[in-house]
Amino acid sequence: MKSGLIILMLFCFLSGGLLAQQRNVIDDEAKVPEYKVPDVLTRFNGGKIKTAKDWYRKQRPEILQKFTQEVYGKVPGVLGIHEVKVWETSPDALNGLAVRRQLSLFFKKGDKSLEVNVLMYLPKSQQKVPVFLAYNFTGNHAVYNDPNIRLTESWVNNDPSVGIINNQVTEQSRATASNRWPVEEIIKSGYGLVTLYYGDVDPDKDDFSDGIEPFFYQENQTHPKFDEWGSIAAWAWGLSRVMDYLEKDDLVDAKKVAVLGHSRLGKTALWAGATDQRFALVVSNESGCGGAALSKRIFGETVQIINTSFPHWFCGNFKKYNNNEADLPIDQHMLLALIAPRPLYVASAEGDKWADPRGEFLAAKYASAVYELLGKEGLPVKEMPEVNHPVMGTIGYHIRSGKHDLTLYDWQQYIRFADKFFR
């Protein structure tokens, strides 16, 4: 009896402690606690940044370093493309409207090798064309109804409803994501689409034995170190390697590459844009926590939740901020500021509270100070616009009606936005 009581008390004590760790998810603006985000133009040592020169020389490198060290992790080494194999360049895609090019980038180190399949649809043109570069979630063949698209052999998350069985895609998976990829609209607007499956670079699971990470392991290493890349940084690295290729492609204008991503791939596009200034324009579609949304608001998904559900996405150091966002030396508006002065579009959806639309808007607003310092407009509004009323300065923003998704409406805004800078 007595020992039963002790066990019960111990249980209550332990579960009380655990429960105290679990915060309720905040989805009501009135419940957002007091929080303070760092001023993007104040240095970590307290000094103030007043000139563009000081931004580039002092503040930008320090902010980039903090995100690398504390959030996404550093790339542990250098590895270029070993070989490019172009499978085809066909002038007859989309009923003759576009050129379809498919190629593989091969990476090699010691006995390890990795193949990354790239699919390109390009408008026919006398000149090199601007492109949207974007990862897809389930393979290139899912993007468009075209039997010529090669199937990935990489691990893909099982989803029998779209023909993904035993972690492999099948013929049945073709065009199953085509609602997210208005290829004809993109081509008719004069843009190319360059897309690749993110799992070719690193399968999206908490397993660091596959994908690109092991290429850099020292002897007996099985995981990246605490300050080394998680999957988001690995995927961003992959986008930079595609950029290495695009700089050599004879049909693409590599000075006009807009990197775009939805959700976890929006987080990835932002980190790619921050770390690689060759990306001329960056689009974050509903990237949420660890993307465009402020972490310190703890609205919707939090650092603790994301690090628990997806322990492989960020670097080990980021776990220090589980239920401890106040200690973060940075917040996500400072990530957005790293993209300045290049055009940046942040998009939210009304039905996507998980990604904290207001937190995404505020991050874009707070990043504007850097754009202004660099002589650009930043966000053209101070208050969140109405649903379906996009605003476009050098930072663009919209919140559209509907749920978490990448829709034709979103793409239409990105094309309009790109037109402002690329035409």
Report, in Å, the least distance between residue 347 CB and ligand GCU: 13
Report the amino acid identity of residue 48: K
Q: Answer yes or no: are the C-beta atoms of 340 and 21 closer than 8 Å.
A: no
Give the shortest CB-371-to-ligand GCU separation in angstroms: 25
Contact 354, 404 (CB under 8 A): yes
Catalytic residue of the set 178, 223, 240, 404: 404
Q: Select 270 or 370, whichever has its Cβ closest to ligand GCU.
A: 270
Q: What are the tokens at 337?
A: 């500021």
Cis, bond preceding 341 (omega within 30 deg of 0): yes
Q: Sign of torsion, CA 330 212 208 168?
A: positive
Where would I find the beta strands (DSSP E) of 263-298? 281-285
Smallest distance, ligand GCU to C-beta of residue 265, A: 7
Residue 6 Cβ vs ligand GCU, minimum distance, rounded to whole Å:
39
Nearest CB to ligand GCU, comparing residues 37 and 289 = 289
Give the footprint of ligand GCU on this chain (CB under 6 A): 263-264, 288-289, 301, 306, 309, 354
Looking at beta carbons only, is 186 or 265 nearer to ligand GCU?
265
- In angstroms, give the least distance from the CB of 156 to ligand GCU: 15
Strand order in the sheet with 112-123: 83-93, 98-109, 112-123, 192-197, 129-136, 252-262, 281-285, 344-349, 395-400, 391-392
263 is catalytic: yes
Q: Are 18 and 308 in contact (CB under 8 A)?
A: no
Q: Name 20's Cβ contacts closer than 8 Å, sequence gap at least 6.
A: none
Task: Tell me the HSE value of 88 on the side-chain side, using a 13 A CA sphere.
Answer: 11
Any catalytic annotation for residue 404? yes
Please identify which of the residues 104, 231, 263, 295 carries the catalytic annotation. 263
Nearer to ligand GCU, 310 or 371 (CB): 310
Least distance from C-beta 404 to ligand GCU, angstroms? 7
- Identify the helix (H) or strand (E) that includes residue 417: helix 408-422
Cα-flanking dihedrals φ and ψ of residue 244, to 5°? Answer: -55, -45
Cβ nearer to ligand GCU, comparing 76 with 266 = 266
In whole angstroms, the minimum distance from the beta carbon of 163 to ligand GCU comes to: 20
Nearer to ligand GCU, 146 or 301 (CB): 301
* Distance of alpha carbon 305 from alpha carbon 318, whole angstroms: 12
**Do 136 and 195 meet the contact criterion of CB atoms below 8 Å apart?**
yes
Q: Which is nearer to ligand GCU, 73 or 288 (CB)?
A: 288
Q: Name which of 189 and 263 has its Cβ closer to ligand GCU.
A: 263
Cα within 13 Å of Cα(162), Cβ side? 19
Query: Are the C-beta atoms of 137 and 285 separated by less than 8 Å?
Result: no
Residue-level length of the chain: 423
Show the tokens assigned to 195: 């897309």
Distance separating alpha carbons of residues 315 and 311, to the nearest angstrom: 9
Per-residue b or e along 228-265, where b marks 16 or more CB atoms closer than 10 Å to that residue's CB: bbbbbbbbbbbbebbbebbeebebbbbebbbbbbbbbb
* Least gap, CB of 186 to ligand GCU (angstroms): 21
> Which of 132, 131, 145 is CA-nearest to residue 177?
145
Which residues are part of the catalytic machinery?
Answer: 263, 404
